[in-house]
């Protein structure tokens, strides 16, 4: 049985407020509040746990918010090793506003422009023909235009996020490195996290996810060091981060990276003029770094480039509302399908799409 471990340097306690309307500068009353443990790695652990995978969670917790984080993880039944931090665990607030009024009649909001309408018509035509929509350039948006309903929706949703910055010290990062070093000492004995097991690389791998943003006080090359250490001990490493942290991580050749389209733009130095250019660039990433590439591209679907070849998945349904955590769930399901169920890349992509679609469809009833 494959084993999965997620490492989250910048965890959070997520507070999601659901509102029917939002009045800036006025009084707003949510109709639902959800408080949960957050952070990319923790989201991955949650999804893997839902798939009945063997998953361990490593992160940090500090202060009263850290105590809440610990309680939330215990309540969910997620096996977690939370290293102590002298810094308060951060909070992340999400305002999910479900709109009910007609287009262009909301005070303080602009109606769709003709460009927006043309983009939407093109998206629908692309979806119906089973092709992805690719644009040479994307016009700037002011963030106030909303997308039409998905089938079955009674309103439109706009999500606003307010994320505090996290902090870690060099000493706390050193404690994490020491913990990972202990894995190397016990791996040959097959007792990781106190559980016996043998992990042949080609049969039942131990996959370690290095996920999320970097807190203040942490160098952007910290994943680079962890990848080298883990891969040297026989672990498979999967990186899901952005910016300079992703650039640095590639230097250590992790087993897999999972950029989204915006993160690919950053690596490429700008948008792509065609799907072929994007695919060719992902192939270059794989060849140059010996790292497989899994791209999540929103409504355009997903792409995998690796030793088995190039595989493309176009979604059957587009969900334009509250996509928070969708990429994390997609990665979890893909990894589970590939490493635990031994699916081909094409089948793992299809499995991940179906799993994520089920997750997003469940939010339709919120």
What is the domain extent for residue 355? 3-99+158-365
Which of 14, 19, 15 has its CA nearest to residue 366?
19
Q: What is the pLDDT at residue 189?
A: 54
The residues, any chain, with a CB within 8 Å of residue 28's CB and separated by 6 or more, are 19, 21, 22
For residue 24, give both structure tokens: 């800036």
Q: Is residue 228 included in any domain, yes or no?
A: yes
The total number of structural domains in the chain stands at 1
In a domain, 39, yes or no: yes
Report which of residues 274 and 148 the model is more confident about: 274
pLDDT confidence of residue 358 = 85
Residue 122 lies in a domain: no
Is it the case that residue 302 has pLDDT exceeding 50?
yes
The answer for residues whose C-beta is within 8 angstroms of residue 219's C-beta and 6 or more apart is: none
**pLDDT value of residue 261:** 92
Asked whether the predicted pLDDT for residue 322 surpasses 70, the reply is no
pLDDT tens sequence across 287-299:
999 999 999 998 8
Asked if residue 53 is part of any domain, the answer here is yes
Residue 284 clears pLDDT 50, i.e. is over it:
yes
Domain annotation covers residue 238: yes
pLDDT digits (tens, 9 = 90+) for 3-20: 999 999 999 999 999 999
H or E element in which residue 74 lies = helix 63-76
Residue 326's pLDDT band, with cuts at 50, 70 and 90, is confident
Which CATH number fits the domain that encloses residue 67? 3.40.1190.20
In a domain, residue 148? The reply is no
Which of 40-49, 174-183, 191-200, 219-228 is the least confident region? 191-200
pTM for the whole structure: 0.80
What percentage of the chain reaches a pLDDT higher than 90? Answer: 66
Residue 277: inside a domain, yes or no?
A: yes
Residues 57-100: pLDDT tens digits?
A: 999 999 999 999 999 999 999 989 999 999 999 999 999 998 65
The beta-carbon contacts of 357-360 under 8 Å, at least 24 apart in sequence, are 357/315, 357/316, 357/317, 357/319, 359/47, 359/325, 359/326, 359/329, 360/319, 360/321, 360/322, 360/323, 360/326
Average pLDDT, the chain: 82
Structure tokens given for 281: 């660039």
Q: Answer whether residue 184 shows pLDDT above 70.
A: no
């Amino acid at each position: 049985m494959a084993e999965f471990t997620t490492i989250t340097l910048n965890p959070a306690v997520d507070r999601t407020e659901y509102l029917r309307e939002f009045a800036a500068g006025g009084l707003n009353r949510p109709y639902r509040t959800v408080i949960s443990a957050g952070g990319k790695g923790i989201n991955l652990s949650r999804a893997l746990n839902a798939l009945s995978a063997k998953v361990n969670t490593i992160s940090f917790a500090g202060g009263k918010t850290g105590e809440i984080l610990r309680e939330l993880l215990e309540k969910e039944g997620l096996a977690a090793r939370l290293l102590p931090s002298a810094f308060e665990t951060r909070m992340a607030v999400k305002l999910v506003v479900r709109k009910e009024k007609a287009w262009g009649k909301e005070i303080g909001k602009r109606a769709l422009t003709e460009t927006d309408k043309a983009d939407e018509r093109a998206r629908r035509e692309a979806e119906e023909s089973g092709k992805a929509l690719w644009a040479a350039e994307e016009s700037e948006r002011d963030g106030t235009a909303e997308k039409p309903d998905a089938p079955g929706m009674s309103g439109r949703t706009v999500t606003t996020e307010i994320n505090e910055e996290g902090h870690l010290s060099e000493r706390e990062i050193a404690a994490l490195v020491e913990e990972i070093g202990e894995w190397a000492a016990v791996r040959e004995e097959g007792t990781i996290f106190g559980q016996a097991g043998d992990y042949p690389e080609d049969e039942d791998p131990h996959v370690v996810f290095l996920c999320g943003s970097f807190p203040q006080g942490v160098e952007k090359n910290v994943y680079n060091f962890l990848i080298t250490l883990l891969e040297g001990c026989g672990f498979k490493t999967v990186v899901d981060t952005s910016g300079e942290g992703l650039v640095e991580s590639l230097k250590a050749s992790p087993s897999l990276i999972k950029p989204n389209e915006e993160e690919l733009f950053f690596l490429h130095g700008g948008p792509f003029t065609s799907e072929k250019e994007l695919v060719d660039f992902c192939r270059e990433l794989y060849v140059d770094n010996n790292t497989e590439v899994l791209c999540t591209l929103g409504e355009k679907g997903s792409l995998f480039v690796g030793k088995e070849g190039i595989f493309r998945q176009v979604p059957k349904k587009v969900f334009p509302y509250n996509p928070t955590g969708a990429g994390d769930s997609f990665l979890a399901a893909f990894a589970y399908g590939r490493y635990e169920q031994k699916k081909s890349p094409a089948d793992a992509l299809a499995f991940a799409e179906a799993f994520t679609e089920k997750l997003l469809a469940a939010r339709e009833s919120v």
